[in-house]
Structure 1
Amino acid sequence: MHKLKFLLPVLCLVYLSLPATVRHPLHVSTAELSFNAKEKSVEVSCRIFTDDFESILAKLYKRKTDLSKPSMKPEMDEIVKKYLTSHLQVKVNGKAVTLQYVGFEIDHEATNIYLEVDQVSTMKTAEVTNTILYDLFDDQMSIIHVTNGKKRNSTKILFPDKTFTTNF
């Protein structure tokens, strides 16, 4: 046991000193849902590594993708909306709701995508089905946060699992 305590930090240092191309990449995305009682809406944001996101968009829609190029913004908005609305489904109080695409922005190495659901008077339960990047990686991890007032429920979903249900 004593050898293991010494060996683990050494292995971590060796792993971290490897070039990024040698290390196994982390495949993770986040989705955050927040009930806005004043606006009677659910605000949704997703954060996905840009390089992975561009890869899946190019693969699925058979077109060049560049989320950071301003001249391609209208075309990218179209496929980002199409992808997100088909890979993220939400039920509020047991009923499926329609996600309305708001837009996206690049933030360093990640893409933030914004959606919203109007006309939600209360949120007693929420069910999130998330398959973002599942068609690209079989080790995809999805972190989901759902907030209602001061209460926040979170989980980690590992491929192939895809659904999180929470009650408030």
Structure 2
Amino acid sequence: MPQLLLLFWLNIFHPFYVSVTEIVHHKNTGNVQVSVRVFFDDFEKALENKYKKKVNILKPSNREELEALITLYIKNHLKIKVNGKVLDLKFQGYEIEEDAAWCYFETPKVKVIKELYVENDILFEQHSSQSNMIHAIVDGKRKSTKLDNPKKEVNFIFLSN
């Protein structure tokens, strides 16, 4: 009976596996900002499993090394194409908010986005029930979807006025 209670408690504490990726195009500057929110405990496990290194996101012993691992992992699990061209994600940093890590990226300037393709399998190797929310905001228009493991691709079309 105590084991059953423990399992129930663990499910309440961290009952689902979800990440949120937001892609925002600023038409006036051409900047594309990408932010990825993941539960930091799941992210630590994914980094440790993938790169065979002990990871502590809250108190890293070597922040530069940790940021390099974060960058490598995200770039391997998040691909963004605009109008058929792959965007290069440039790591800007990360911060902790409650139980989540927000990882920030920027891409080279883009004048117009008509088609936005996203491939996102962040943490899919960790959890078969992983879901990844995608929010794309282009020229003030917001489109969103949820990708449930193993579905990892979405294509948004933005029609200009």
Q: Same fold (TM over 0.5)?
A: yes
- Indicate yes or no: 2:71 matched with 1:117: no
Q: TM-score, length-normalised on structure 1?
A: 0.85
Unmatched tracts of structure 2, length 5 or more:
1-7
* 2:96 corresponds to which of 99, 106, 131: 106
Render the CA deviation track for 1:122-167: whole Å, top value 9, x for unaligned: 1111011001001111111010000012210000110110011111
CA–CA distance in structure 1, aligned partners of residues 150 and 44 of structure 2: 22
Match of 2:50 in 1: 60
Match of 1:73 in 2: 63
Match of 1:3 in 2: none
* 1:85 corresponds to which of 75, 78, 89: 75
CA–CA distance in structure 2, aligned partners of residues 138 and 32 of structure 1: 22
1:129 partner SS = strand
Structure 1 segments of 4 or more deviating over 4 A? 21-24
Bigger Rg, structure 1 or 2:
1
Question: Aligned letter for 1:130?
Answer: N
Superposition CA RMSD, Å: 1.7
CA–CA distance in structure 2, aligned partners of residues 77 and 116 of structure 1: 15
Unmatched tracts of structure 1, length 5 or more:
1-17
CA–CA distance in structure 2, aligned partners of residues 47 and 65 of structure 1: 17
User: 2:91·2:104 contact (CA, 8 Å) conserved in 1?
Assistant: yes
Q: TM-score, length-normalised on structure 2?
A: 0.89
1:89 to partner: Cα distance: 0.1
1:79 partner SS = helix
**Aligned pairs, how many?**
152
